[in-house]
Chains A and B, each alone.
Chain A
Amino acid sequence: MALPIAPRGLVADLITPLKADRSIDETGLERLLKRVAPHVQALLLASPHTGEGTALDPAQRRELLERTRAFLAPSPMPVMVWVTQDTREETHTTLRLLSQSLHPQGSSVPVFWVDTPLYYHSNRGLPDHYRVLCAASKQPFILHNDPQVMEAVARPFKRRNIRTAILKELATIEGMAGLLFSGTLERAHHYRKACRPESRFRIYDGDESHFLDHPSMSGTASPGANLAPRAWHTITRSSLQLSDSEKVYPDHLQQIWELGEYLRNLRDLYRPFPVPAIKGVLAHMDIIETPTCTTPQKDMTQTVKKMRHLMGQFGDA
């Protein structure tokens, strides 16, 4: 069976709703999915920045995946799950566990594994590593390159980016569907050039700010879509030139501009502490049960107030 192609468009980088005891808040997850899913092309679960990924154990990731798929079925909306663990072996184990959860449901929901390889592996030998993984997995992979995540690993001399030549080789492997990229624009150009022959290989903007400035034609993974999914949907369609809405109303550009400013201003508010801020707002709106995070708690009262005020002006609060 042919592997699914990664979708173009908006990928919601979903927060992981947690109860006070740090277990998955299943009701909150369902409400969040109800709010977000109709407006996005795919969902990213357990990401290291937004989805508590590094703090979730394999069983929690599995639960997250199973509940999300159950909610989405029979919709064919793709789900991307961050599978990376501290070591190669642990990552293999997580992958196996998550793969088991996919059988024998036969769900129509396509699943993509998102992996930050440099977290546990060097550039050297990476293509061979993925040849083995892709051969063993029935689901395609999306690579994750993010120097900021690598900083957290805090190992001296460790490379923070996948080497361009290595990426070029990785993109040719069957089962490699794309790259979630954060980094400089210059590196994005190098990566694009390296992967150009692989027309199915997507390169998503891992940093939604970049997408708002110079949009990648593959799309973006956006934490902001947790808060303002409709606005993000509109901006993504406009940026990817998928929208005919300019023919519908005359002040289309004015509205797009205002929506873009709204998303930028919202992002500026949550950017210092994105997960506590987003969870704070969603908890305040009774979408999730608590604003519990695995990172140290911050007092987000003022930020949440400002965000809700801003969101209220655009009908999102």
Chain B
Amino acid sequence: MVIRQAREVLRIEAEGILDLIERIDHEFVAAVDMIMRAKGRVIFTGMGKSGLVGRKISATFNSTGTSSLFLHPAEAIHGDLGMVTPEDVILAISNSGQTTEINTLLPILRDMGAKIIVFTGRIESPMAHHADVVIDVGVEREACPLGLAPTASTTAALAMGDALAVALLSRRRFSQKDFKKFHPGGNLGQRLSIKVKEVMLTGAHIPKVLIGTGILAAVEEINAKNMGATLIIDSDEKVAGILCDGDLRRAFLKGEGIYGMKVEEIMTPLPKTMSEDLTTGEALALMELHQITHLISVDENGRAKGMVHLHDLLGREGFRTNGITDCTERSGR
């Protein structure tokens, strides 16, 4: 009896999802286009179980590169509406399409200029009338008796949300790098979850030359340490700047007799620093923020303690700790 019932429930839920396949149409494409064009975020909203589904899809969106958050409809009208901007896309979920809180909220959001996508089982419902795009997630049968809890309908909404997330992911050409950025806890993100101090180059492995050094000598240091840059330090070993490949290229383009120059003439002063307690993922985010490929860690006197290169954070090989390439997995250490 129990086994039969369980099988029936699974069958009903599976059929609910299978039915969605034929309903993927121009409305779904319009939803993808709308989210792709939006400059803001995708804001999910829904009450009860639909709200829980919305939270999960929102998490999936965030994991796959679409900035998203969840807005509780009841909280929204008590101040949380402030988080919505006209550039956002609202994705409201309600199987009946008659949820009072949502139907109160949607016209307000629409007036604010936000675009609205609706997941509903009733495409003729009042909620659907507020929407720019309506996606039909209706099921023919619920698995749970008496309407005690939505079952097949929430499963269908969840599955449709996944379909949307994956379609967006594909449209954005979401890369492995992006995935790592959002998954520091997963296998792919493992590399980016460890502390910078564990992987940065330290001591004699840090490329550095004194202020007053000639350009050619600096290039030799860059080549020798294989970091694509060298730090410029003063007589107290305090970091004064960084000379990287980009600085050299820009100097060459100026055509001002580079071979006779000193490093301080073309270096970038005050290089970006980081705390050695950052994770490699956070260091990567910092590099992306400043559009740079190196970060250094300094002590309280401004002396270099360590240095990392972008490739050290993202490279497929193991970490190059202090000049030695380590191809073992982090977990195996």
Contacts and interface: CB of A to CB of B under 8 A. Distances in A.
Interface of A: 185-186, 188-189, 192-193, 196-197, 199, 203, 212-218, 235, 237-244, 247, 253, 256-257, 259-260
Given A189-B15, A196-B22, A212 B138 contact: no
A216 B15 CA distance: 13
Given A216-B141, A217-B140, A260 B146 contact: yes
Nearest to A211: B145
Nearest to B147: A238
B100 A214 contact: no
B146 A185 contact: no
Interface in B104-132: 121, 123
Interface residues of B, number: 28
A214 B145 contact: yes
A237 B123 CA distance: 18
21 contacts: A185-B12, A186-B11, A188-B141, A192-B140, A192-B141, A193-B15, A197-B22, A214-B141, A214-B142, A214-B143, A214-B144, A215-B147, A217-B138, A217-B141, A218-B140, A235-B147, A239-B147, A240-B96, A240-B147, A241-B150, A244-B99
Contacts of B143: 214
A212 B100 CA distance: 26
Contact of B98 (A212, A242, A253, A256): A242
A212 B141 contact: no
Contacts of A241: 95-96, 121, 147, 150, 153
A244 B100 contact: yes
A215 B11 contact: no
A235 B141 contact: no
B87 interface: no
The 10 lowest CB-CB distance pairs between A and B, nearest first, are: A238-B147, A239-B147, A260-B146, A241-B96, A192-B140, A189-B15, A213-B145, A216-B141, A256-B146, A214-B141
B8 interface: yes
Nearest to B8: A185
B147 A244 contact: no
Contacts of A196: 19, 22
A215 B8 contact: no
A215 B99 CA distance: 20
Interface in B137-170: 138-148, 150, 153
Contacts of B138: 217
A134 B8 CA distance: 36
Nearest to B99: A244
Contacts of A238: 146-148
* Residue from B8, B19, B95, B146 having most chain A Cβ neighbours under 10 A: B146
A199 B124 CA distance: 11
A243 B150 CA distance: 13
Contacts of B142: 214-215, 217, 239
Given A185-B11, A192-B15, 18 more contacts: A185-B12, A196-B19, A203-B140, A213-B145, A214-B12, A215-B146, A216-B140, A235-B146, A241-B96, A241-B147, A242-B96, A242-B98, A244-B98, A256-B148, A257-B146, A257-B148, A259-B146, A260-B145
A131 to B, nearest CB: 25
B119 to A, nearest CB: 14
Contacts of B148: 238, 253, 256-257
B217 to A, nearest CB: 75
Contacts of A257: 146, 148
B141 A215 contact: yes
A257 B146 CA distance: 7
Contact of A217 (B8, B9, B22, B121): B121
* Residue from B138, B139, B140 having most chain A Cβ neighbours under 10 A: B140
Contacts of B145: 212-215, 239, 260
A238 B139 CA distance: 15
